[in-house]
Structure 1
Amino acid sequence: MRALAAAVLLFALTACSGGDTEESSDTKPGFDVPTGLTLSDPGTEKKVGESLAIGYPSAEDEAGTALALGVTKVVPAPRKDLSLYRIPAGMQPYYVRVMVGNRGPAEASFPEGLPWWLHVAGDTLIPATPTPGGFSKCAPPQVGRTMAAGTTAKGCLLFLVPRGTAVESVDFQPGGVATAVRWRP
């Protein structure tokens, strides 16, 4: 009798857990994803040099669009490149080369700029440091407050990291931490 009760309980638990898994994997984007493009889920990790696509500002947004993103390099910046500028003591500058492409169908809006962050040891996020106009060694991607569908921008972001702190990832984070996709060096 106990064996029968245990089998019924196990069957009931299996049936309940199976339904939840199927429901969460059938999520469909709220906008028409361009043909041949597959959207990555928040939390996706890639290696530097690889690219991915996300729904922006989220895949569920009916007015959203598909962004193709990539990080091609993460390198310490040579101090001589920045000799004309004042770098705070104890900081190591990094160049991060990125690509952003709006694959459509809608215009992308970046009211606060591109949401790129450098994730360093200690679970700390560091924003990009603005570079002065004419600084050709690390010119940022030319993206304004909006980006039309079908356009692509490549460029470099400058980050200042406390010396001796390990870089864990480059994050594109359009919302809270749970929305981030990451590139590991």
Structure 2
Amino acid sequence: MRMLRAAVVLALVLAAGGCSNDEKASGVPVPKGFEVPAGVSLTKGGTTLAKGKSATVIYQVADKTRSVVAVAVTAVKKGEIKDFRFFSLDDETKQATPFYVAATVRNIGPAGIGGAPIPLYAHDSNNTISRPNELVGDFAPCPNGTLPKKFLPDATAKVCLVYMIPKGASLVSIDLKTADQKDAITWKQ
């Protein structure tokens, strides 16, 4: 009986050693060594939100910098291809439907993530996941497509992202993807 109790205690200690207190409290995995700021609850992967509601996630940018961000998709507007009359588009893109997605991003901390791409993707009816289109210069229908160069903790930015949905497909959702697609947080259309 003593051996069984010792085995149970050892199993509990090992299980607790691989995750932080934040993971146990929120049910969301937290990378080892990362501390979620006090009072912050992370949004569980697979959650579907209404427009305007925020998802709070740990975002790791390419250089291994991690910060907690709150992202809210605030509006999705169908555009017109004529908005791109001054752009060089290939024949396939000329047949696509543009969508303009407005979002608010707040850097909760602890790191600065200035200039990082915003991990919002368009998910269409062909089950294709697309990054936002990068535009050079000012684009009046959808300005501010990137985070500011300095985006420190407690900063908030409003952004607008452009997605081209192929002819014959429809926009299903906007997905916040910081890990696997199965863990994406979505705003349905």
TM-score between the two structures when normalised by the length of structure 1: 0.72
AA of the residue aligned to 1:84: F
Aligned to 1:163: 167
Name which of structure 1's ranges 69-78 and 136-145 shifts more when overlaid on structure 2: 136-145
Higher strand residue share: 1
Q: Is the CA contact 2:147–2:159 (under 8 Å) kept in the aligned structure 1?
A: no
Deviations 1:13-58 (A, max 9, x none): xxxxxx9xxx898257454433443210122211222112112239
TM-score between the two structures when normalised by the length of structure 2: 0.70
Query: How many residues are aligned here?
Result: 161
Aligned to 2:45: 42
Matches of 1:92 and 1:39 in 2, distance apart? 33
Are 2:108 and 1:108 equivalent residues in the alignment?
no
Bigger CA radius of gyration: 1
CA RMSD across the alignment: 3.0
Aligned pairs for 1:118-157 (under 5 A) are 118-143=122-147, 147-157=151-161
User: Once the 2 structures are TM-superposed, how far is the Cα of residue 146 of structure 1 from its aligned partner?
Assistant: 6.8
Deviations 1:80-125 (A, max 9, x none): 43332344232111101111111112233776x2222100112110
Aligned to 2:3: none
AA of the residue aligned to 1:67: V
AA of the residue aligned to 2:95: G
Q: Is the CA contact 2:175–2:184 (under 8 Å) kept in the aligned structure 1?
A: yes
User: Once the 2 structures are TM-superposed, how far is the Cα of residue 170 of structure 1 from its aligned partner?
Assistant: 0.5
Are 2:72 and 1:70 equivalent residues in the alignment?
yes
Name which of structure 1's ranges 99-108 and 84-93 shifts more when overlaid on structure 2: 84-93
Matches of 1:75 and 1:46 in 2, distance apart? 17
SS of residue paired to 2:141: helix
Q: What fraction of aligned residue pairs are identical, expressed as a percent?
A: 26
Structure 1 spans left out of the alignment, 5+ residues:
1-18
SS of residue paired to 1:122: coil
Matches of 2:141 and 2:184 in 1, distance apart? 27
SS of residue paired to 1:147: coil
Matches of 2:88 and 2:97 in 1, distance apart? 12
Aligned to 1:3: none
AA of the residue aligned to 1:41: K
